[in-house]
Amino acid sequence: MGKIIDALQQALPLLGVAANVTAASTSNIFAVPDSAWKSLNDSVSGRLHLASPAGLPCFTSYESAWGLDANAPNAAQCQTVKSGLSTSLDIISRFGGYHNPTFSTCMRRGQKCTLTATEGIRNDTCFQGTVPDYYVDAQSVEDIQKSLQFAQQYKLPVTIKNTGHDYRGGSAGVNTFAIWTHNFAPDPVITENFTPDECPSPVGPVVTYHAGQIGTHLYNSLQGTGYMIVAGSCPSVGPSGGWVAGAGHGIFTPSFGLGVDNVQQMKVVLPNGTYVTANRCQNQDIFFALRGGGGGTFGVVTETTTKLHPDQEYSYAFVQLPVTDVRGANEVLVANAERWSEEGWGGVYGVLDVAGSPNLVWLGYNANLNLDEGKASLKPVTDYLEALPGSENLVSIFKTLPNQITAQNDPVLLSILLPEAGVSLTRSSRLVPKKNFQTADGQKALVDALMENKFGWGAVIASPTNYTLAESDQPGGPGESSVSPAWRDSIWHLTYTTTWDPADPVATTPEALASMFQEMSEAMDPIRAITPGAGAYQNEADVYEPDPIGSFWGEKNYARLLAIKKQLDPDNLLSCWNCIGWNVNDERHECYLNVRGIGPSN
C-alpha cells in the first residue's frame, strides 16, 4: 500500500470523529466519501495527497481541518525545511511552501505554522491556516481533467497553485482542494515557424512551455539558440501561471510587449474538465480571459506558446547613491521619466530604503540604445548625483550585455528579487500615466505625492512604451487581452513595499497585520488622487486595493470577463481573493482581515 493511501487512510476516519470541528465549514470537501477520494487517487496515479504547511515537522501539535492533534516532530525534516526557508527554489518545491508565508497563515486568527531560522523543534501548534486540505500533484493534462471533473462532481472549492509567489494569497484557500502544477514542467520546445491551431498562417518562431515551468529554466532553455523571450524578472515566477494571467512584465517588456502581448496560443482545462485550445483564431473569449483576467479563475492553463525574438546586445546601467535630499532625488527622476520611457529602458528606479537610509537606485536594460547613448540618457541623474556630498560613494556602472541570459542573471537584479523568498511582504501599485509627467504642475504634484509616503518607492519601468500593439490585439480584435488599458499609456508601475518576519509574534497579530495592510493601502491614496482613471498591476497590487475592478481591468474588460466567468464556472469553483466573480464571504477567504471595509463579514 502506497504512502499516500496510508496517509489518506489515517486521515479520512477523522471525518466522523471531528465533525464538531468542521461543522462550521460550508466546504463540500468534508462531504466527499472516502471511497471517492481513493478512486480519485487511483485515477491520478497516486498523486492525491493530504496537504500540510511546510513547517509541520518542527511542531509538537497540529491543527488541521479535522481538528487538533499531537504531532510527532521530525528533527531531520524540520532542519531541511528550515535550511531552505529563504531559498526560492526550495520553497516552491514544497506544496505547503509559500514564497510569501503570511498567505499560508490564518491572518484573521493569528494562527500560523511559520518558522524562524534559529528555533528548532517547537512545543507549539502548527495551524493549517490557508493551506488547502488536499492536492493533486498534477503532472499531465489528464491529472488536471480528472481533478476538475472530481471537483465538479462534488462541487469542491478549487485552488490552483504553481510556485506560490502570489502577493495576495491567490494560491492558497481555506478548506479547498488544490491542483498543484509545479511538477508539470517538461522541457520547453521551440518551433521555428509556428501556426496556431485553426489559424491560416504561421506567426514565426515560438517556444511552448507547460504550467509548472519557471522563468530561469525557460531562459536557460533558450541559451545559445539566438532567441530571447519576454518573461518575468524573477527567476522562479511561473511564466505560464499567474505571471501571464495577470499581464506579465519583465525587464524587456518596454520594447517587446507585455507577456500577454507575446502569447500565440494557450491550452487550458476548463472548470468542467474539457481541454481546449485558445488563440486569435478560436476560443477568443477564453484567450482574452486567460491573458489579463487573473490566475486561478477561468481554468487550469496547461501550456503557453510565446513568440521568440532575435537575441541581441543590451545596454546596462546601474547607478546608486545614498541621498539626504529625497525631494531633490525625486525631482530628477520624475523630470526625466518620460524621456527614459521613450528611449525604451526597462528595469526599476526610485528612492528606496537601503539598510535603513534612502538611496537613489537606477537599474536599467535597454535594447535600443548603445553604450554611449545609454550614458547620455542617464546623464541628468549621474550629473545630479556627482554634485552631491558623498558622491565618492557613487556606484555608476554602464556596460554592454552580450545577450538576454546575462541580463536576466544580473547579480544586481537578483539581489533585489531573491531576498523576497520566505519573507512576508506587501505592496501597493499604481500605473502612473504619461500625462502626469508632461507638465511642470503634473511633475510637482507627483513629487509632492511621493514625498507623502514613508515606505520609499520603486518605479518598475515595464509598460510597453516602445511596443506597437498589433492590429489583431487592439480593443475589439481577436487577440485583445484583458489587462487594464492603463498599461498602454503609463510610464511607471509605481510600487511601495514593506516587509515583516512571518514568524514574528508581534508583527503577525491580527491587529498588527491589519494596521500594516491599511498603511500600505492608504500610502498610495495621494497617487491615486492625482491619477484618476488609471490602473494598478493586479499581480503586485495592494491586497486591499480600493477599486480593484477599475484598477485591474477597467469596467469594459471586467464586464466581458465576468460574463465569461459565469459561463465557464457558474458555481464559482475556481476562485481567489479579488478575482473575477469572487465572493468575499466565501469560506476560502475567511482568513483575510477586514481592512478599509474590505474583508469577510462572517
Containing 246, the helix (H) or strand (E) segment is helix 242-246
- Does position 250 interact with ligand FAD (CB under 6 A)? The reply is yes
Is residue 564 close enough to count as binding ligand FAD by CB under 6 A? no
Tell the smallest beta-carbon distance from residue 582 to ligand FAD (Å): 11
Among 96, 129, 132, 232, binds ligand FAD (CB under 6 A): 232
- Residue 127 near residue 106 (C-beta atoms within 8 A): yes
Q: Which three cell numbers stand for residue 571?
A: 458555481
Residue 421 CB partners (closer than 8 Å, separation 6+): 86, 87, 88, 91, 99, 236
Binding mask 511-540 for ligand FAD (x = CB under 6 A): ----------------------------xx
**Could you write out the three-class secondary structure of 1-46?**
CCHHHHHHHHHCCHHHHCHHHHCCCCCHHHHCCHHHHHHHHHHCCC
Nearer to ligand FAD, 293 or 433 (CB): 293
Q: Among residue numbers 341 through 400, which ones bind ligand FAD (CB under 6 A)?
A: none
Look up residue 94 and give its three cell numbers.
514544497
* Interface positions, 133-162, toward ligand FAD (CB under 6 A): 160-162
| 545 near ligand FAD, judged by CB under 6 A | no
Q: Which of 133, 166, 587, 590 binds ligand FAD (CB under 6 A)?
A: 166
Q: Select the span of 296-304, 356-364, 407-415, 471-479 touching ligand FAD (CB under 6 A).
A: 296-304
CB neighbour list of residue 530: distance below 8 Å, 6 or more residues apart: 436, 442, 445, 446, 449
Q: Is 222 in the site for ligand FAD (CB under 6 A)?
A: no
The count of chain residues that interact with ligand FAD, using the rule CB under 6 A, is 36
The residue sitting closest to ligand FAD, measured at its beta carbon, is 295
For 276, counting Cβ atoms within 10 Å of its Cβ (0-12 exposed, 13-18 middle, 19+ buried), the class is: middle
Please provide residue 32's backbone torsions phi and psi, each rounded to the nearest 5 degrees: -75, 125
- What gap in Å lies between CA 31 and CA 52, rounded to an integer? 20
Of 591, 588, 583, 602, nearest to 157 (Cα)?
A: 588
Nearer to ligand FAD, 241 or 364 (CB): 241
Options 22, 139, 176, 181; binder of ligand FAD; rule CB under 6 A = 181
Q: Which residue, 57 or 241, is less far from ligand FAD as judged by CB?
A: 241
**Residue (of 186, 240, 179) closest to 215 by Cα position:** 240
The verdict on 576 binding ligand FAD (CB under 6 A) reads yes
Q: Among 72-80, 247-255, 400-408, 594-602, which window interacts with ligand FAD (CB under 6 A)?
A: 247-255
Closest to ligand FAD by CB, 343 vs 540, is 540
* Under rule CB under 6 A, residue 96 binds ligand FAD: no
Under rule CB under 6 A, residue 171 binds ligand FAD = yes
Stretch that binds ligand FAD, among 51-59, 68-76, 166-174, 516-524 (CB under 6 A): 166-174
Burial letters 508-520, b for 16+ CB under 10 A, else e: bebebbbebbebb
Give the dihedral sign, CA 296/175/501/113.
Answer: negative
Q: Which amino acid is at 474?
A: Q
Joined together, the cell numbers standing for residue 523 give 500610502
Distance separating alpha carbons of residues 175 and 144, to the nearest angstrom: 19
CB 8, min distance to ligand FAD, A? 24
Distance CA 495, CA 338 (A): 18
Q: Is 249 in the site for ligand FAD (CB under 6 A)?
A: yes
- Cα separation, 157 vs 589, in Å, equals 11
- Which of 248, 456, 479, 502 binds ligand FAD (CB under 6 A)? It is 248
Q: Pick between residue 240 and residue 262 the one whose CB is nearest to ligand FAD.
A: 240
Q: What does the longest C-alpha to C-alpha distance in the chain come to?
A: 74
Stretch that binds ligand FAD, among 63-71, 163-171, 442-450, 558-566 (CB under 6 A): 163-171
- Do residues 136 and 179 make contact, with C-beta atoms less than 8 angstroms apart? yes
What's 274's DSSP letter?
-
Cβ-based nearer residue to ligand FAD, 96 or 248? 248
Least Å distance between CB 258 and ligand FAD? 8
Residue ranges in 31-50 that form contacts with ligand FAD under rule CB under 6 A: none
Binding site for ligand FAD (CB under 6 A): 99, 160-167, 170-171, 181, 211, 232-234, 237-238, 240-243, 245-246, 248-250, 295-296, 300-301, 417, 420, 539-540, 576
